Chain A
Amino acid sequence: MPQPHEIKTTVTSALAEHPYQHDYAPQVTAASVLSDALAAFGFASDGTTRYYLFHDGHEVPPEATVGELAGHARALHLKLRTETTNG
């Protein structure tokens, strides 16, 4: 169960079999969530693929916090997206 004020955060990826879920304090940044999600999915930041979080139709700035993104909601759904290198 999330502690009071924590936000139940879910990150989904098209290439992952299951979503990543964790309860975060509102002040945790998107960069931290991204790092945790990549580790949970087993995706390595290899310098050739840029991973980022997507919410409400927009790329999430790394410095945005879970609280800012969730607003008044107690849960937050983020999508993991990629930008791949071209040849």
Chain B
Amino acid sequence: MDLESRLRLAGDVPAVEEFLSSTAGRLHHRDQDPDGLFWAEVQPNNGERAAFTARIEWTVYPDRPPSLVFVESIGASGVGAPSAWPGANGYRYGSNDVCKPFTAEGQRLHPEWSSGPHSWRSTGNPFLYVVENVQDDIDRVDGRRAG
């Protein structure tokens, strides 16, 4: 990851940490992780449901969307089982992707999203934008799991 990306990420991470903290979640970045790799514990608004662990990896920040998958636990090397994935629209454990305009996987699957209303926006704090969307998508299904 280039220096500008690292600096921009460092500037935007505190707002993401604050947001996740406000929803009883938490953002993790371990010493051994690459600069752009984060693990977000996303706690559904329904406190009776367990938190999800999202693996979010940025390559060029803020100009490209991140890879976003769900895993069993922080540091897990593989993509999680269906029980690790939210049962929300576009969150596809079967193909290991979140088919939304705010993910690298979604943009790769839909080249037509590279322009127009689905194009990636790099203004403001895109990291916060992604995490807010994940939180809201999970809350829309009351924290239900895919499997």
Residue positions of A touching B, CB distance < 8 A:
13-17, 44, 46-49, 57, 81-87
- Residues on B with C-beta less than 8 A from A47 are 117
User: Chain B nearest CB: distance from A46 CB in Å?
Assistant: 4
- Residues on A with C-beta less than 8 A from B89 are 86
- Residues on B with C-beta less than 8 A from A84 are 100-102, 118, 133
Are A85 and B101 in touch, CB under 8 angstroms? Answer: yes
State the main secondary structure of chain A at its contact with B.
loop
B145 at the interface (CB under 8 A from A): no
A-B contact count (CB 8 A): 55
Select from chain A the residue with minimum beta-carbon distance to B12: A14
Q: A74 to B116: give the CA distance in the assembly, Å.
A: 39
B: interface residue count bin: 20 to 34
Assess A81 versus B118: contact at CB under 8 Å? Given A15-B123, A16-B123, A87-B99: no
Residue positions of B touching A, CB distance < 8 A:
15, 45, 89-90, 99-102, 106, 109-110, 113, 116-118, 121, 123-126, 128-129, 132-133, 136-137, 140
Are B90 and A57 in touch, CB under 8 angstroms? Answer: no
User: Chain A nearest CB: distance from B28 CB in Å?
Assistant: 20
Of A13, A16, A83, A87, which is in contact with the most chain B CB atoms at under 10 Å from its CB? A87
Q: A84 to B40: give the CA distance in the assembly, Å.
A: 20
Are B129 and A85 in touch, CB under 8 angstroms? Answer: no
- Residues on B with C-beta less than 8 A from A49 are 117
Specify which of A17, A82, A85 is in contact with B123 (CB 8 Å cutoff).
Answer: A17
Select from chain A the residue with minimum beta-carbon distance to B130: A14
Are B129 and A86 in touch, CB under 8 angstroms? Answer: no
